[in-house]
């Protein structure tokens, strides 16, 4: 599956005369990156009017969608500590396990709404993870994207007390929350934080760049259907990068396919070659990894799946290779 980052005009809506260097003007400065990153991300994703509602409005129901599961608790902590008091909160990294617990959360959300209290919910997939009463009753819904250069620059400025200047979006693309925490440290200079970010970006696993991987144009032994699809997708993506077509003009049937064939026919090898020709990171996953990387319970498995797609979105444009998921079906004749 091919994913692409599409800018959301809601993110960072501010007055035209606002300084390009993001600074929401907090009375208290975050002490470390664990406070600075979620605060900068939230403040850079809402309008000033929405921020005022979060801080002052009575009987507010706020729903926040975070970029990935690892952001849920930090953003929830920010809302709890930096806003007016809340009567109820629901922070969900994955679906609630167990019918009794789920019903309890639903009942709490209903009672909080009925009593006119302030409440918020935070999740990477609110429609799947949060109580329906909270979704239906939401007065304000905020979507947080992966942090860009502006957000990271604000966090560095708060933590180090130094201005890092403009931070390129490309520098922080695909760097997850834990890596950002390790790069932005107290008692460091802004330059040292930038240097760590550059090393983290250089060390990011992009298997498409592995030496010895052959591009699709040099592959042999695959069926005509598979090669026609792969070479056609490469041509379409190159046309998109040249500005000749919009990303949406690449057919959905080309962006999401199933490659069928017994083990050993080269399905994964084709994905690696395609990623190399596209110049994109290859995100590989499987049903086995969802279970071995978790406790095996449904909520933990779903969290693993969410994390995979969050990772793909974080480094978009990217190629997602999964043995268990596909948005559309197209057979590709394979032979060794």
Burial of 43 from C-beta contacts in 10 A (0-12 / 13-18 / 19+): buried
Q: What pLDDT, in 10s, does the model give residues 30-50?
A: 789 999 999 999 999 999 999
Rounded mean pLDDT of the chain? Answer: 79
Q: How far apart are CA 269 and CA 79, in angstroms?
A: 45
Q: How far apart are CA 77 and CA 56, in angstroms?
A: 18
Q: What pLDDT, in 10s, does the model give residues 137-181?
A: 999 999 998 899 999 999 999 999 999 999 998 888 778 888 899
Assign residue 211 a region (left: φ > 0; alpha: ψ between -120 and 50; beta: otherwise): beta
What is the DSSP annotation of 242-280? TTSS-GGGS-HHHHS------TTSSHHHHHHHHHHHHT-
Residue ranges per domain, the chain? 46-143, 149-206, 208-322
User: What mean pLDDT comes out for the span 205-218?
Assistant: 64
Whether 312 shows a pLDDT value over 90: the answer reads no
The residues pairing with 285 across neighbouring beta strands, listed in sequence order, are: 322
327: confidence class by pLDDT, cuts 50, 70, 90: very low
Higher-confidence position of 21 and 211: 211
Per-residue pLDDT, 296: 73
């Amino acid at each position: 599956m091919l994913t692409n980052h599409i800018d959301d005009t809601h993110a960072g809506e501010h007055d035209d005369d606002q300084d390009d260097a993001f600074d929401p003007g907090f009375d208290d400065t975050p002490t470390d990156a664990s406070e600075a990153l979620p605060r900068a991300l939230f403040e850079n994703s809402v309008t000033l009017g929405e921020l005022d509602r979060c801080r002052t409005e009575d009987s507010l129901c706020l729903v926040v969608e975070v970029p990935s599961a690892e952001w849920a608790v930090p953003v929830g902590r920010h809302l709890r500590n930096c806003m007016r008091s809340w009567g109820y909160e629901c922070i969900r990294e994955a679906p609630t396990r167990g019918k009794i617990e789920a019903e309890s959360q639903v009942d709490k959300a209903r009672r909080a709404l009925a009593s006119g209290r302030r409440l918020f919910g935070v999740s990477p997939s609110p429609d799947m993870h949060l109580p329906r009463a909270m979704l239906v009753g939401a007065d304000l819904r905020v979507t947080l994207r992966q942090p860009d250069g502006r957000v990271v620059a604000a966090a560095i400025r708060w933590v180090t007390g130094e201005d890092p200047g403009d931070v390129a979006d490309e520098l922080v693309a695909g760097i997850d929350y834990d890596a950002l925490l390790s790069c932005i440290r107290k008692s460091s200079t802004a330059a040292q934080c930038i240097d760590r970010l550059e090393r983290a970006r250089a060390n990011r696993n992009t298997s498409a760049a592995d030496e010895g991987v052959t591009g699709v144009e040099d592959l042999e032994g695959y069926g005509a259907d598979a090669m026609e699809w792969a070479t056609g997708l490469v041509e379409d993506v190159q046309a998109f990068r040249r500005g000749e077509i919009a990303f949406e003009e690449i057919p959905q049937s080309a962006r999401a396919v199933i490659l069928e064939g017994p083990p050993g026919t080269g399905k994964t090898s084709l994905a690696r070659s395609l990623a190399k020709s596209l110049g994109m990171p290859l995100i590989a996953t499987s049903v086995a990894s969802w279970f071995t990387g978790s406790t095996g319970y449904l909520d933990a498995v779903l969290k693993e799946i969410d994390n995979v797609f969050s990772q793909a979105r974080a480094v978009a444009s990217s190629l997602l290779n999964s043995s268990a998921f596909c948005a559309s079906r197209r057979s590709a004749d394979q032979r060794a």
